[in-house]
């Protein structure tokens, strides 16, 4: 019998995510996170996937949306949100771990 994927909603989030290279953030535990910028219903979202990335395998991006929107640093605040270095708040839409892969989606809050 096939096993169902194990999906766990996480409540312990990285304290800080600092950009190490374009498209790659690193948390306080030295874990690397790849990001993907999305716009859903006119709202800016970022999907972060925690992945082990060899330093020589990171591709650089030239997407103008990336350079104008992506912060150098996110810091966890109370209330399930991050504050970026541009003084914008990002709501944690979800943070899950499924089959050993961790994923977090952040959404730029309206008043930011």
Read off the pLDDT of residues 36-79 as tens digits, 9 standing for 90 and up: 988 878 899 999 999 887 655 555 555 555 555 688 899 999 87
pLDDT at 93: 95
CA–CA separation, 90 and 71 (whole Å)? 11
Check residue 53 and give its pLDDT: 73
Q: Is the pLDDT of residue 104 over 70?
A: yes
Domain parsing of the chain, residue ranges: 7-108
CATH of domain 7-108: 2.40.15.10
Integer Cα distance of 74 and 112 in angstroms? 14
Half-sphere exposure of 81 (CA within 13 A, CB side): 14
- Residue reference for tokens 């990335």: 53
Residue with the two structure tokens 């096939």 = 2
Least confident piece of the model among 55-64, 85-94, 96-105: 55-64
Sign of the CA dihedral 68, 112, 108, 12?
A: positive
pLDDT at 67: 54
In three-state form (DSSP H/G/I as H, E/B as E, the rest C), the secondary structure along 59-105 is CCCCCHHHHHHCCCEEEEECCCEEEECCCCEEEEEEEEEECCEEEEE
Q: What percent of the chain has pLDDT over 90?
A: 47
């Amino acid at each position: 019998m096939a096993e169902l994927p194990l999906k766990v909603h996480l409540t312990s989030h990285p304290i800080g995510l600092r950009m190490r290279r374009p498209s790659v953030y690193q948390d306080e535990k030295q874990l690397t996170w790849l990001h993907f910028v999305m716009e859903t219903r006119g709202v800016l979202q970022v999907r972060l996937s925690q992945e082990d990335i060899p330093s020589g395998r990171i591709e650089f991006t030239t997407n103008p949306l990336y350079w104008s929107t992506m912060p150098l640093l996110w810091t966890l605040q109370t209330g399930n949100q991050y504050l970026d270095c541009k003084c914008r708040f990002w709501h944690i839409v979800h943070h899950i771990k499924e089959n050993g892969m961790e994923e977090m989606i952040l959404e730029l809050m309206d008043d930011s």
